[in-house]
Amino acid sequence: MTTSRKAAAPASTVDRPVKLKATNRPEYASDAMADTLRAIGFRYAFINPGSSYRGLHDSMVNYLGNKDPQAVLCAHEDVCVHAAQAYAKASGLPALAILHDLVGLMHGSMAIYNAFADQQPVVVLGGSGPSDPKLRRGIDYEHSANVQGELVRPWVKWDDEATTPEGVCESIARAWKIANTGPKGPTYVSLDSGIQESKLSGAIAIPDMKAPANLPAPPPAANPDAVEATADLLLKAKNPVITGGRVMYRREATKLLVELVELTGAAYVEDRNCTCFPTAHPQNLTGEKGVVEAADVLLAVDSPDVNVVVDSYSSRVRGELGAGGKGTKVIDLSQNDYAIRSWTRLGGKVAPTEIQLLADPVVGLRQIIEAVKSRLGRAKGSSAIEARRKKISKTHEAMTARQQETLKKRWGDVPLSPHRFVYEIYNAVRSRPWMLTVRGHRAWPHGIWQFSGSGENIGVSGGGGVGYGPGAMVGASLAARDQGRFPVAILGDGDFLMQSQALWTAVHMRIPLLCVINNNTSWYNDEQHQNEVAHMRKRPAENAWIATTTRDPEADLATLAKGYGAWSEGPVTDPDDFANALKRAIAEVDQGAVAVLDVRTSPR
């Protein structure tokens, strides 16, 4: 089934207020709060409206003119925060989400956790109160709390609930500074509704966001002795391996990683779900089995959990442990130990590290490179390093050949194989300045989509909260639109079903984007788990589909997308129809549309 819509109007025409009064002085406390948001540099505010911040809402629209920040209406609080999280990653700019009081914060709390796990600097504001009983309506008792931020305190970097107009403005400024100080993460400030709506009796000081005191501190460097020890280990190693993690969002990281990998003759492997390194680089062995296990030295650059890299956790069969990095000297370059919280086990168990470089990863990489260069002098490296590079290059060539052979072997699979699915999408957009705003990871075949490095794959949720993809697609695509890039989202069917209403926001905001649904009609990870448990317990695995699949009935995702105003087509069931369907979808995106393709795929 195919549906179409008219080309989108320019984004500048969306939600423009009328009959505004010319004023440059705040009249109400919420006007001063809005001035603070503009001073920080927020271009957008992802919001789900509520009476608890009606004062600030009015100030953003009728005082600031709905510009800097522009309100981006979302149909669920999770979508608000996920959009802000992905916008921060894709743009590198301040990210803001505003939620209705206690109930809105409850809705958005899972998304805030994702941003915390992903170490993304999202400032979350929420209406609250009023604290003064004389100002409360009956519902204000149901929807407010004593210290509202306590609800999310275990997974935000900082929260506050100031009691004066000046205090609220200072709290917003401080929340932005803390969120953007490494390791980055979300902050929460509740805005008392009574204070928001209070009329100012005189001038109020707006925080000077250019003042050094209000800016994040420069990123910290690593201990010099630890850097020297790291350089020694890397150059003396027989099989060094370097892996990149959250630096996937920092474009400057790729050049540094490539330089260090080439200087040391190391093999490179991406951390799980990450993309920091050129796919075609001859020392990139992502997808090759046994690379990390064979390493005598491993440098993990900003890994969310080093134990995942070295495989030291239980397998899917409880109690069967992985290799655990035995015999590998692990170097951890990150700020992870600054991010420890006692409520969540985020970050895993203590990593088996030989050296800890507690520093900003990009700063630390520069330090390591200089230390390695000083040891190598002007020479390109020893004969051992050169021989290792050649050996790794041959392994890379053989791995690439196998990947292409698998693609050919599975080309005609019905339903569509993950290999052809990824290839067809990449082939359709490869000539464009694309941005992969969302992608799955469990059915992602390595080596088919050709990345040049960081900043191209905006990644996954961070905290594993399903429902991240649709909101993230909107936020990252908004950044891509402003950068002149072509946004591509690959969503799982379950992810799409959880938060499909995010499409309305994309259509309303005139954000052109391509969304391809990788639809295996199953919560396949859980179907696989049920299959495995049944085998372990000697029970019928034939029942693994029960309460894990969505085939009776199959959801009509194309019609669902049409209901939100998007162009849509699907389900695409014939692999030979997929390429032409992509061409039709891309033609719609080129005209400014939100285009959604529902594609039936094989889970593996």
Question: What's the pLDDT tens digit per position in 66-107?
Answer: 999 999 999 999 999 999 999 999 999 999 999 999 999 999
> Is pLDDT larger for residue 311 or for residue 568?
568
Buried b (16+ CB within 10 A) or exposed e, 390-407: eebeebbeebbeebeeeb
Q: Is the model's pLDDT at 601 over the cut of 60?
A: yes
* pTM: predicted TM-score of the whole model, two decimal places: 0.95
The amino acid at 137 = R
Q: What pLDDT is attached to residue 381?
A: 56
So where are the chain's domains?
2-214, 224-397, 410-600
One DSSP character per residue, 342-355 reads: SSS-TT-SPP-EEE
DSSP assignment string, 470-489: HHHHHHHHHHHHHHT-EEEE
Which of 54, 70, 68, 58 lies closest to 26 in space, CA to CA? 58
**Contact predicate 89/480, CB 8 Å:** no
What letter represents residue 144's amino acid? S
d(CA 570, CA 584): 12
Contact in structure between 125 and 137 (CB atoms under 8 Å): no
Cα 535 to Cα 190, 302, 526, 603, 604: the distances in Å are 50, 38, 14, 19, 19
Query: 325-367, pLDDT tens digit by residue?
Result: 788 999 999 999 998 778 888 888 888 899 999 999 999 999 9
Grouping H, G, I as helix, E, B as strand and the rest as coil, residue 90 is helix
Q: What is the CATH number assigned to the segment(s) 410-600? A: 3.40.50.970
Separation of alpha carbons 113 and 303, rounded Å: 18
Q: Give the residue among 88, 156, 122, 361 at the shortest CA–CA distance from 245.
A: 361
CB 148 within 8 A of CB 128: yes
- H or E element that contains 122: strand 122-128
Q: Residue 4's pLDDT is what?
A: 45
What CATH code would you report for 2-214? 3.40.50.970
- Structure confidence by residue, pLDDT tens digits, 247-304: 999 999 999 999 999 999 999 999 998 999 999 999 999 999 999 999 999 999 999 9
Expressed in angstroms, the distance from the first to the final Cα of the chain is 26
Rounded Cα gap, residues 428 and 588, in angstroms? 14
pLDDT over threshold 60, residue 6? no
Taken in order 38, 82, 504, 250, the sign of the CA dihedral is positive
The candidate with the shortest Cα–Cα distance to 400, out of 294, 290, 291, 280, is 280
pLDDT digits (tens, 9 = 90+) for 479-534: 999 999 999 999 999 999 999 999 999 999 999 999 999 999 998 888 889 999 99
Phi, psi (deg, nearest 5) at residue 305:
-155, 105
Are 224-397 and 410-600 in the same CATH fold? Answer: yes
Q: Per CATH, is 224-397 categorized as 3.40.50.1220?
A: yes
Lowest model confidence (mean pLDDT) among 16-30, 55-69, 242-256: 16-30
Query: Six-digit token pair at 141?
Result: 């008792």
Asked whether residue 53 carries a pLDDT value surpassing 60, the answer given is: yes
Task: Compute φ and ψ for 418, nearest 5 degrees.
Answer: -55, -35
Dist. CA 145–CA 154, nearest whole Å:
17
State the chain's mean pLDDT as an integer.
94
Confidence of residue 443 (pLDDT cuts 50, 70, 90): confident
**Would you say 467 and 77 are in contact if contact means Cβ atoms under 8 Å apart?**
no
How many residues can be counted in the chain?
A: 604
- Take residue 495 and report the two structure tokens written for it: 């992810």
